[in-house]
Amino acid sequence: MPGIPLRARVGVTAGERKTLQDIVVCLVLHLDLRPAGATDDLAKTVDYDAVCGTVAEIVRSRPYHLIEAIAEEVAGTVLSDFDVAAVEVRVEKPGALRARGVPFAAVEIHRTRDG
């Protein structure tokens, strides 16, 4: 899922966390797609809409100081709630470095079910 646009309360300062800010969450899910591909059965893969809903719930659940914390929480929840072996999470914050002419700040993590 290359870019889930969301609004979050995220920032180091209290002022940043007062207003909703744009972020983009990108996910790569690692799982065996052969059963779903062979049967054309949604029950044998991950429901991507459900994953998007879960990510949105996490982002909206509370204010965050760091996009790193959002990435870790998303990764942990996806691994625990969905049948995936690993997940890559990228969180972009477009407004973070605007004053410096940088289009966005971002973090990217890769987490696996077995640690």
- Give me the tens of pLDDT residue by residue for the chain, a chain 115 residues long: 999 999 999 999 888 889 999 999 999 999 999 999 999 999 999 999 999 999 999 999 999 999 999 999 999 999 999 999 999 999 999 977 778 888 889 999 999 998 7
Which residue among the candidates 45, 59, 93, 111 is catalytic per the annotation? 93
What does the pLDDT read at residue 88?
98
Which of 79, 88, 102, 95 has the alpha carbon at shortest distance from 11? 95
Please indicate whether residue 93 is annotated as part of the active site. Answer: yes
Stated pTM of the model: 0.93
Q: What is the largest CA-CA distance in the chain?
A: 51
**Can you list the domains of the chain with their CATH numbers?**
4-112 (3.30.1130.10)
What does the pLDDT read at residue 99?
82
Question: 96: helix, coil or strand?
Answer: coil
What does the pLDDT read at residue 46?
97
Which of 70, 69, 81 has the alpha carbon at shortest distance from 29? 81
